[in-house]
Structure 1
Amino acid sequence: MNIGKNILHFRKEKGLTQEQLANILDVSTAAISKWETNIAYPDITMLPKIATVFNISIDRLLNYNRYKVSIENIINEVKEHIKKNDYSSAISLLKLSLERYPNNDALTLELGKTLMLYANFHKDRKKLLQEAFNIFLKLLESNDHEIVTWANNYLCTISIALKTFEKAKYYLKKLRLPKGINPKINDISIKSLTNDPNLIKTIKIYIEEAFIDYSYYISWLINHFIQNKEYNMVIDEGEKYIQIIKSLNNELFNEHLSTVSESIALSYAYLNDNDKALTYLKQAETYANNKKLALAMLHALESKERNIYQKLNKNTFIKLLDNLKNKINS
């Protein structure tokens, strides 16, 4: 038994300092320090009070490692159900486990994620997404920064899926990608989940649709920022979008990449950074790699709303227009 290590873990999980915990328990800070370093142990009569402060059972306080292994085993079992496309069993297991381990952030997060996945195959998609949304909303109260980050991530995703764009905008501003997330989706990462060709196809379609929804939302958001002259927001959100979508290496998104690049160029032009404006205009022209996209970009650049570009290097700008015209006429 390592009660000192357990007290240290739960104190940090609760977001308390040694001094704050000492005040609550009516002991000295030195006593807390000795407990956490196993120099001394709390009196047995203190255990109920300590467990109450951490909102856990005495059994969990004394056997944290065993508890941790139990949670990991549950999550592994859930993942096995998901691999078999058995979402109902996965959700039932998580809900039963949360009755045994209430307020466990890891299990709660897993339940929200599983509901999101199941929503893509369920007839009542909106209801399941709303249930997942409410779960992630509660997780914003967690003391675990990574859990909160994931919750914001999924709240933004669900808001986009439900087309509640004002909510999506709110959570997008809070969104910080957790360490380890790689937006690049490839066959290897998908096949690590399943060997079923039909399921692989379904996953790919879902991923593609999710990024298409994200692309339309970003386009809407950027137009909103431009109308409100929030040019730095256009640049921040646009560059983040381009970084994510470029990694997909899918020409399906060239239209969005071209449009977003041009919006960033426009923002830099309004901010009087002409060099960066030209850089992003060239990037937009590169993504406009067929007649339809080139024509759309040419019309945009020749509109009255783009008169700001007249202050850019004239020769470079004319050459860019000529490139677009050549694509249209080819």
Structure 2
Amino acid sequence: MNELRLGNQLKKLREEQKMSQEEVATQVRVPIQNIHKWEDNKSYPDIQQLLNLSDIYGTTINEFIKNDATLQSRINIIEEEKEDDDELFHPGFYIGIGIMFLGTLLSLIIGNLTITMVTNIAGMLIACFYKGILKLLQDIKKDFYEQG
């Protein structure tokens, strides 16, 4: 596929419509600097602005996205982050609660409150930072394999 960056595409469509950057900025309701940045591939419009631009230029958002691999990867990253954020009770939550429960149970059996304190702290850290811990371990693993 012949990749055409969104900015180049926006500029081409604007010129085909014989519009100035000022006219587009007025219709999209953004400062002209935004149009400069978009057409120079220095930034991207948000989804509402893309909708407005697609109306102005008589095209679809799909056409904008299909032709710009960088924009596609940005959208994919944003979607992955949304999926991660939507997951309220991830496995780390259950692991952390389990460790806290096990530590409390062990301290009752053994009679040592230090065990409860240590396992509760460890459990809370795992429950709160599970995704960060997983990412750290994945990065370490990746670095290990790249060096080896």
Task: State the TM-score, normalizing by the size of structure 1.
Answer: 0.19
Compare relative contact order (CA 8 Å, sep 6+) and give the higher one, 1 or 2: 2
